[in-house]
Chain A
Amino acid sequence: MNAFRFLPALGKAAVLLVFTGFVLGPLTVAVFGGFKTNGELRVNPFGIPQQWDFEFYAAMLGDPAFWRYMGNSLIISLLTVFLTLIVSAAAAYVFAQIRFLGSRMMQAYLLAGLVFPFATAILPLFIKVRDLGLLDSYWAVILPQTAFGLSLSIMLFKTFFEQLPKDLFEAAHVEGCGYVRFFWQFTLPLSTPILATVGVFVFVQSWNNFLLPLVVINSRELFTWPLGMMQFRGEYLSEWNRTLAFISLTILPAVAFFIAAQKYIVAGLTGGAVKG
């Protein structure tokens, strides 16, 4: 560390702190808001609470309905992630590894989903889900979400798989390892970073999805948290503090999921594979 190094470090710290403020400012508003009475929220929405009122958070955490909403969201999100990763990685692997007739057309077909706005599809989608007899079930949300996530995930996976060293497969093939087995044994384990990235993305999309569950889920036992929040805001029409406490708590699972995945994203991209 010499004087030359010092200035950039200072600049770097300043930049990072400015962005941290930009990002965290609004978020602290939400977290603190959950500790304020409604009156204080209107008068002092941004400051530190004059008195820390744990009542609203406690009310949320003590509400079985809240846990049910969270549980439903978690089940739906995790299943969506799992299904999306398996289905799209498999398809992307085929596109990346095998040249066959119609491959390009199929890829173009699957990529068309990228540019198809969900809102346009909502009514036809509802009719489709209804005709398949899936209404009011977890699958009514999971399957369409997975389908809409495919385009993007396949694109990301394919980009990644194409960068994996090719000689690895040749070596494995000489050993008598087929495509499918190679996918399971080598490709997926080497792909943790991209699996984590896509996984986080799909999880977040699912976790926050509102329009689809709204239309295909009717019974309150299956409500996801955004539906629960809507319901909740209807019940406590103007009690913003409760809503903010609710929101703050719903961020936690997504954060936890991200922290868990972070480890893998940080894992080396081609850790030792080339040396083998």
Chain B
Amino acid sequence: MKFSGLTMLGAASLLATLLASTAFADVTVHVLRPEVPNTEKAYHQKMVADFEKSHPGVDIAFEYIANEAYKQKLTTLLQSDQKPDLIFSWAGGVLAQQAKAGVLQDISASVTSDWSASIANAGLSAFTIDGKVYGMPVNASDVVFWTNLDLAKKAGVDPESIKTWDDFLAAVKKAKEAGVTPIMVGGKDKWPLHFYYGYLWVREAGKDGMAAAMGGKGDGFAAAPFVKAGEDFKNLVDLQPFEPGFMDTTFEQATGQFGDGKALFHLMGDWEYGTEKQNSVSGKGIPDDKLGTIRFPAVQGGAGEATDTFGGINGYAVIAGAPPEAVEFLKYMTDAENQKLAGAQGLFIPIAKGVDESIANPFFRKMSEALAVSKFHQIFLDQALGSDVGATVTDVAADLAQGVVTPEAAAKTVQDAWSMR
């Protein structure tokens, strides 16, 4: 034998895998999603292992690609013969676009009443388009003002007392007088700025106002509440509250600098908790006892409730032609036990009902409670309004933040894009 043992071993194992994949795995479910931290990958792997154990003949393959590349690829990928079976989705208008194009699968028939009953309503409706269910949510995210308590003390600001937009503006003034940068924002990415504009929309227009605008009633997004929201935002911008050069600061840089203790407030979603630590110079960020969160304040005379929330609902959409096992696995991911586990590990805010108790991270728990009492949860506008109008909103939010457009013009720009979509 001239062959080395190693080659033989290699050939043998190759043969074995070939045989294995043909003999036992009758079906493979491909899951495609944007990149996540390793802790979350381990969580996925555990689910995959458990599921494969109880479903012989099924292979689940998770594939991760970088966030921006994922968005860029999706349109083309879904039209190739290598399309995945489940894709991560931020719901909203982009999901509607995909449903309209026929690349998604209507799974209404597979959604049993006990399954739908186990999911929070806002979550389920986000994945329902024209009465048809195209996917399922796994987590919700919530946008809050992350607060540096040390700087709050230095500026003489009591974060807990901030209830209205005017209170907030007063706090910003106070911070500036004390030489503290009031707000950190990653303006270069634009979407962090749209959190302000979008939240003010929700506060000024409320659930009914948003629905009316999206339904094209009256002046749509050019109506008074939306102009008023722009004015509220302008009142903040006029105070010059952001860090210097905020338009050349990316979200990653901003969150890192917030972690370095460079500003009092940072309006961001739940993921801020991990990223401000990871991106800070020390790698530790702000210690938990020096970190606070406050709700986005109410506006006087606004139609929205103070309890209304703004954030995301994320889950997975089922692709046309995916095998029933894909839906099966999706159901398994939304299962209460798995959702509890994610909550316990502090990976995200689970969306299954009755799992709040499992959430270990105090900041996440507070958000989960807020989501539970919220009667209206507005999905990020850059997702909710579809890719085109969504980008228009983030654009005008950035223009407002630089004071290069009036609130009226901003509202009109959005409405024009919305009516032309």
Interface residues of A, Cβ cutoff 8 Å to B: 38-39, 42-43, 123, 126-127, 130, 135-136, 214-215, 218-220, 227, 230-231, 233-235, 237-238
Contacts and interface: CB of A to CB of B under 8 A. Distances in A.
A135 B76 CA distance: 11
Contacts of A127: 79
A220 B73 CA distance: 14
A222 B260 CA distance: 39
B278 interface: yes
Given A230-B68, A238-B279, 12 more contacts: A39-B282, A126-B76, A127-B79, A135-B82, A214-B69, A214-B72, A215-B76, A218-B77, A230-B65, A231-B35, A231-B66, A234-B35
A42 B256 contact: yes
B84 to A, nearest CB: 9
A230 B69 CA distance: 7
21 contacts: A38-B281, A39-B281, A39-B283, A43-B281, A126-B76, A135-B82, A214-B73, A215-B76, A218-B73, A219-B82, A227-B69, A230-B65, A230-B66, A230-B68, A231-B66, A234-B67, A234-B69, A237-B252, A237-B278, A238-B256, A238-B278
B23 to A, nearest CB: 23
A38 B283 contact: yes
Interface in B23-79: 34-35, 63-69, 72-73, 75-77, 79
Nearest to A40: B281
Interface in B365-399: none
B361 interface: no
B80 A218 contact: yes
Contacts of B279: 237-238
A130 B66 CA distance: 23
Name, among A42, A127, A218, the residue most crowded by chain B CB atoms within 10 Å (CB to CB). Answer: A218
A79 to B, nearest CB: 22
Contacts of B252: 237-238
Contact of A218 (B67, B68, B82, B281): B82
A38 B259 CA distance: 14
B140 to A, nearest CB: 22
A39 B283 CA distance: 8
B186 to A, nearest CB: 12
Contacts of B79: 126-127, 130
B240 interface: no
B275 interface: yes
Nearest to B82: A218
Contacts of A135: 80-82
B69 A231 contact: yes
B76 A231 contact: no
A234 B65 contact: yes
A42 B281 contact: yes
A198 B143 CA distance: 52
Nearest to A123: B76
A218 B102 CA distance: 21
Contacts of B282: 39
